[in-house]
Every structure is written in structure tokens, then in C-alpha cells.
């Protein structure tokens, strides 16, 4: 019996999300960054189960042991140990939660608070928006790291105070970026037509503004996450953030600075972790921006 042809063929129209993923997956660097970001997320969530030892466990018979591939290395301590005999691989794994995980947390809070303020201000006009605009100009003229150091100096050195300070420093950046994007969107003709047709502010926001904020949110979030990671490590390096023996990467770098000639791996490994984490975040962010722009064009 002959096969029947499809008289009414259906053309599957891919959603914008599917189109964005299709463009994104063709970018090899973006996919490498996505796998790296997934690994960082996995280490953040499962650090106690993936680390071979506790972060503060000391082995007195393995002080300053080099990585396992060195002549004097030991496979039991794959990345070597520090001057107190603590396993560097375990400390780096636990440090992922303190540096990368807390950076993600700070950025999400800043995105929700700052983004909400930016949307509300962008939908309004007049003196309220003008006051907010001038206030944001003043706050953004101060670098986020300097703001974080000032806050921590007032509140006292600790990891929690560092996160509060970095969140407060990042919030104006999200507010300003989303405020500008919403303000530009509100001036477009299709929103003017929607307003003349009797559309409420909620309809304008839901159907007109929010779908066109993806590029701004992605770019600002990835930039903010990179800044948060660098600020957490910088404040920790200055001794104002996480205090020893917490294995935060910046604190580890500061503790091992005196050993740079005697045991260079104790300095190189935390620095490499900071570099790679910022690199994969930027690779994913750039890939997403390119994919979104290509789909929107």
C-alpha cells in the first residue's frame, strides 16, 4: 500500500529561545565557556562531596608538597599542599563556593533590586526620573571596588559584609543600565501606538518593554558577575573580606604571597582559578549577546 503524502504540511516555526540556542551552540568558544560555567556551578553546589579532604584538614607530613606531576609530588595531593599541609585541590573546590557562588548570589540580588528600580524609573517621566538619573551619575562615578572597600571599612572585615558591600556597589549599575534601556524603549513608535490604543503601563511593560531587555540584562549580568568575582577576591586579598582559614581564592592568594619563590604553585593555582572563572563568564556572556543580537536582527 503506497505511503500517503502529507497534504497539509506543518512548518515548525522555532521560538526566539530555540533560535538563540541554535546560534549560541555554533559558537565554539561560547560552548567551551558554558561547559566551564557548568563545572563551576557543579563545584559550588557539590563542593563537600567532590573535595577529597576537608578545607582545613592539615597533614603535617606533607608540608609544601608540590603537585603530583612534579618529581617530589604525591598523587594523594593532586595539586600539592600549602605551608600548613592543607590540600590545595580541596581548598580550591571549597573556594569556588565562597568566590564564585557568593558572586552569583550578589549579582542576582543586585539584578532584582537594581533592575526593579530601573524598570519603575524608566516607565516614569519628569522630576522623579531626573533625580534618580543624577543620583546614579554620582554613584557610578565611584569605582565599585572603592565603594566595596569603603563599605567593608565601615561595617568591618568579613565575608558577609563584603557581599553586602559588593551588592550595594553593583545595584546602581543594574539600575542605570536597565533604566536607560527602558527609557529608550518607551520612546519607540510601537509603544506610543499601544499607549494611544488604551494600553496600560502593565501591558506596555509585559508585551513591549520586557521582551526587549534580554540583551541589556545578559550583558550587565555577565559584566556584573565578573566584577563581583574580582571584587570579592580583591577585598579578600587586602585582608578585608573572608578571613583565614576560609579558602576564598583572594585570601588564599594573600596567604601564599610570601611563598611565591619557595612554592610558586600555592600562588599560581588560586590566581589561575580567578582568571579562568572570569574568562568563562565573559565567554558565555559574549556568546549570548551575539546570539541574541543575531536573532533580533
We report the CATH number of the domain holding residue 164 as 1.10.3720.10
In a domain, 210, yes or no: yes
Count of domains observed in the chain: 1
Residue 1 predicted with pLDDT over 70:
no
Q: Which domain holds residue 168?
A: 16-44+95-296
120 against 9, higher pLDDT: 120
89-104 pLDDT, tens digit per residue, is: 999 999 999 999 999 9
Q: How far apart are CA 79 and CA 246, in angstroms?
A: 18
Kindly report the pTM of this predicted structure.
0.89
In a domain, 71, yes or no: no
Task: Among 61-65, 132-136, 279-283, name the one with the lowest average pLDDT.
Answer: 132-136
State the DSSP H helix or E strand holding residue 138, giving kind and residue range, or none if neither: helix 127-140
In a domain, 239, yes or no: yes
pLDDT, mean of residues 231-259: 91
In a domain, 268, yes or no: yes
In a domain, 141, yes or no: yes
In a domain, 144, yes or no: yes
CB-based contact 288:222 (threshold 8 Å): yes
Beta partners for residue 278, in sequence order: none
Phi, psi of 87 (to 5 degrees): -70, 125
- Give how far Cα 67 sits from Cα of 41, 88, 224, 248, Å: 25, 9, 33, 20
282 pLDDT tier (thresholds 50, 70, 90): very high
DSSP conformational letter for 258: G
Would you call 10 helix, strand, or coil by DSSP? coil
Would you call 186 helix, strand, or coil by DSSP? helix
> 214: cis peptide before it, omega within 30°?
no
Task: Give the per-residue pLDDT at 112.
Answer: 93
DSSP 55-106: TT-B-TT-TTPPPTTSTT-BTTBTT-B-TT-BBHHHHHHHHHIIIIIHHHHH
Task: Give the per-residue pLDDT at 49.
Answer: 94
In a domain, 10, yes or no: no
In a domain, 56, yes or no: no
Residue 202 predicted with pLDDT over 80:
no
Residue 233 predicted with pLDDT over 60:
yes
Residue 59 predicted with pLDDT over 70:
yes
Q: How far apart are CA 1 and CA 18, in angstroms?
A: 38
Amino acid at each position: 500500500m503506497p505511503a500517503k503524502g502529507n497534504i497539509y504540511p506543518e512548518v515548525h516555526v522555532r521560538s526566539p529561545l530555540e533560535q538563540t540556542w541554535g546560534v549560541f551552540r555554533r559558537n565554539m568558544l561560547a560552548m567551551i565557556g558554558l561547559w566551564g560555567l557548568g563545572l563551576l556551578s557543579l563545584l559550588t553546589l557539590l563542593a563537600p562531596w567532590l573535595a577529597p579532604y576537608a578545607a582545613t584538614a592539615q597533614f603535617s607530613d606533607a608540608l609544601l608538597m608540590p603537585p603530583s606531576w612534579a618529581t617530589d609530588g604525591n598523587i594523594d595531593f593532586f595539586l600539592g599542599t600549602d605551608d600548613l599541609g592543607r590540600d590545595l585541590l580541596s581548598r580550591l573546590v571549597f573556594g569556588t563556593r565562597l568566590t564564585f557562588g557568593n558572586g552569583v548570589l550578589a549579582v542576582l540580588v543586585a539584578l532584582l533590586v537594581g533592575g526593579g528600580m530601573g524598570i519603575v524609573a524608566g516607565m516614569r517621566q519628569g522630576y522623579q526620573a531626573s533625580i534618580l538619573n543624577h543620583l546614579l551619575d554620582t554613584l557610578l562615578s565611584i569605582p565599585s571596588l572603592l565603594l566595596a572597600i569603603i563599605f567593608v571599612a565601615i561595617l568591618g572585615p568579613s565575608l558577609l559584609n563584603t557581599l553586602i558591600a559588593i551588592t550595594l556597589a553593583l545595584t546602581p549599575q543594574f539600575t542605570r543600565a536597565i533604566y536607560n534601556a527602558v527609557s529608550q524603549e518607551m520612546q519607540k513608535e510601537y509603544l506610543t501606538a499601544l499607549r494611544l490604543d488604551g494600553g496600560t503601563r502593565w501591558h506596555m511593560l509585559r508585551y513591549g518593554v520586557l521582551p526587549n531587555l534580554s540583551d541589556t540584562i545578559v550583558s550587565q549580568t555577565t559584566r556584573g558577575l565578573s566584577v563581583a568575582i574580582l571584587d570579592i577576591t580583591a577585598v579578600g586579598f587586602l585582608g578585608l573580606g573572608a578571613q583565614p582559614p576560609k579558602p576564598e581564592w583572594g585570601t588564599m592568594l594573600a596567604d601564599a604571597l610570601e611563598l611565591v619563590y619557595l612554592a610558586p604553585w600555592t600562588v599560581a593555582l588560586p590566581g589561575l582559578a580567578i582568571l579562568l572563572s572570569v574568562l568563562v563568564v565573559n565567554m558565555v556572556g559574549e556568546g549570548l549577546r551575539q546570539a541574541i543580537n543575531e536573532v533580533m536582527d
